[in-house]
Amino acid sequence: MRLAAPTVIAAVLLASGALPAGALAAPSLGVGDAAVRTMPVADETSDRDSFTAKAKAEMSDWQRKVDEAAQSAKAKGTEASAAASRELDTAWAKTKSAAHQLENASADGWDSAKAKFRKAEDDLAATWRKVSPGNK
């Protein structure tokens, strides 16, 4: 018979006195027991804070990309570049508006604001790929 390593280690610790005798007993989970374990409830505030922080970081990244694209469009000076820049500016404005709504959303409006932000950011990414295929 082969014993599992944790079992052997626990037996050695128990025999040596390093582990108290009751340490190997299964915890009681009776109704009147104060040690009843419960599943942790998701902390909506920390989820919201985490999502908002991530959104802010993504907005900073998009701001840099949009600014670089605008400079590039100015340098090229072509009508196609100007049209692409306008299209990107429109998508960027919608994303900034959605981000602002996200930051100021009430608890009741949070899910809607979050969905709107995700859609706006997805639309911005699609526009970016369309007008700037070489820059992912």
CA distance 124 to 130: 10
Are 106 and 40 spatial neighbours (Cβ–Cβ below 8 Å)?
Answer: no
CA distance 58 to 2: 54
Q: How far is CA 130 from the centre of its chain?
A: 26
Whether residue 22 is contained in a domain is answered as: no
Whether residue 76 is contained in a domain is answered as: yes
CA distance 72 to 64: 12
Whether residue 38 is contained in a domain is answered as: no
pLDDT at 84: 86
CB neighbours of residue 116 within 10 Å: 19
Kindly tell me the number of DSSP H helices and DSSP E strands found in the chain: 4, 0
pLDDT tens digits, 65-117: 988 888 887 777 777 788 888 999 999 999 999 999 999 999 999 999 999 99
CB neighbours of residue 77 within 10 Å: 8
Whether residue 118 is contained in a domain is answered as: yes
Whether residue 6 is contained in a domain is answered as: no
pLDDT tens digits, 9-50: 444 444 445 444 554 444 444 444 444 444 444 577 788 999
Whether residue 104 is contained in a domain is answered as: yes
Whether residue 75 is contained in a domain is answered as: yes
pLDDT band for 58, please (50, 70, 90 cuts).
very high
Cα atoms in the 13 Å half-sphere on the side-chain side of 100: 6
pLDDT at 42: 57
125 pLDDT higher than 60: yes
As for how many domains the chain has, the answer is 1
| Predicted TM-score (pTM) of this structure | 0.60
CB neighbours of residue 98 within 10 Å: 23
Determine the structural domain holding residue 87 and report its residue range. Answer: 44-131
CA distance 38 to 21: 26
pLDDT at 106: 93
Mean pLDDT throughout 48-68? 92
Whether residue 83 is contained in a domain is answered as: yes
pLDDT at 82: 82
